[in-house]
Amino acid sequence: MDIHADIPLKNFTTFKLGGPAKAFAEIHSAQDVVQAYQYAKANQLPFFVLGGGSNVIAHDEGYTGLIMHMRIAGFEVVADDSFSTTIKIGAGEAWDSVVQRAIQMRLAGIEAMSGIPGTAGAAPVQNVGAYGQEIADTLQSVDAYDTQTETFVTLTSEQCGFSYRNSIFRSSDMGRYIIISISLRLSKSAPQPPFYDSLQKYFDDHKITIYTLEIVRNAVLDIRTSKLPDPKILPNAGSFFKNAIVEDWQLTDIRAQYPNLPLFDMGDGHFKVPTGWLIEQAGFKGKLLHGIRVNDKNSLVLINEAATGYGDLAAARDEIIGAVRDTFRIQIEQEPLEIS
């Protein structure tokens, strides 16, 4: 394993912002993880594990520590029965390739997460999800290097502390575990309705009444393509804001003014409100702010059209958050992690 110096982070993040990393290592094995961590420890450097760079934001000054660029491969069946198959996947595998391979094996549970950029190891960090599915639904365990005990450990799904777009890996134990692989238990049953509202609408509009894994995947990819810009063409970090989670009492005044407020009942008196809708109602759809364009097809997405640095992004973000708060009294949150 080689340690490189002054590698520009803008070349490894889909938002195309960020200065140089002081140290940078490609991680291809569990042993590389140990060596990289020991290097950081010996040199008193912080570290950051970087996957596909699609859900992170880097700063202009770069990073004063060690970037571990996760490249660990692997895809193997570790358990199988009449109803399900469990697959262990290397943390560096491209997530959409994992979904595609699972579908080719006729395994269900992650097909609605087709097209999500990034790596398999990053999926549990923010409990990625789309169109009614999330990684917590199928994840059985995570293999990781525990930097606190300097040992390899296996964490169960329950130990990951999953909640909406969150886990211990980006909250209480952020920076403690370096994920090596994940194990998913996938179903051998065909997908069945009811589907997520926007996915069902697609089926209805296209008069689709037979549902296979391939049909669901193709529908999701079609929907995503129509709403989300390709980061290879238009630099972006995907959904820049989390969908808002509000309590029932917060909705009374909003519903009075916006009777068509879209909601998803999450139970226990909590509702998910599409943040893209909030941003659009606040007047930002398609707007250019400080070189950052609010996507005109999905206002959750911010595009780096002409930003000169992180300061431009921060100014645009804060302006949007402030306007939504003033309009709806709802505090929305940034989704991508920041390398700092």
Q: Which residues are catalytic?
A: 165, 239, 335
Whole-angstrom distance, CA of residue 105 vs CA of residue 135: 18
Return the C-alpha torsion angle 202, 114, 142, 133, nearest 10: 0
Residue with tokens 């020991």: 38
| Run of H or E residues at 254 | helix 251-257
**Contact (CB, 8 A) for 314 and 37:** no
Q: 304 forms bridges with which residues in the sheet? A: 292
State the Cα–Cα distance between residues 156 and 208, nearest whole angstrom. Answer: 37
Phi, psi of 179, rounded to the nearest 5 degrees:
-70, 130
Q: CA of 14: how far to CAs of 10, 50, 261, 319, in Å?
A: 8, 12, 32, 22
Contact 114, 131 (CB under 8 A): no
Are 324 and 278 in contact by the 8 Å Cβ rule? The answer is yes
User: Which residue shows structure tokens 């194990």?
Assistant: 183
Q: Is 254 within 8 Å of 261 (Cβ atoms)? A: yes
Neighbours of 281 (CB within 10 A): 18
Decide: helix, strand or coil at residue 261. coil
Q: What distances in angstroms separate CA 77 from CA 95, 105, 184, 230, one per listed residue?
A: 17, 11, 10, 32
Q: 300, 294 in Cβ contact below 8 A?
A: no
Distance CA 89, CA 197 (A): 30
Question: Using an 8 Å Cβ cutoff, are 67 and 13 in contact?
Answer: no
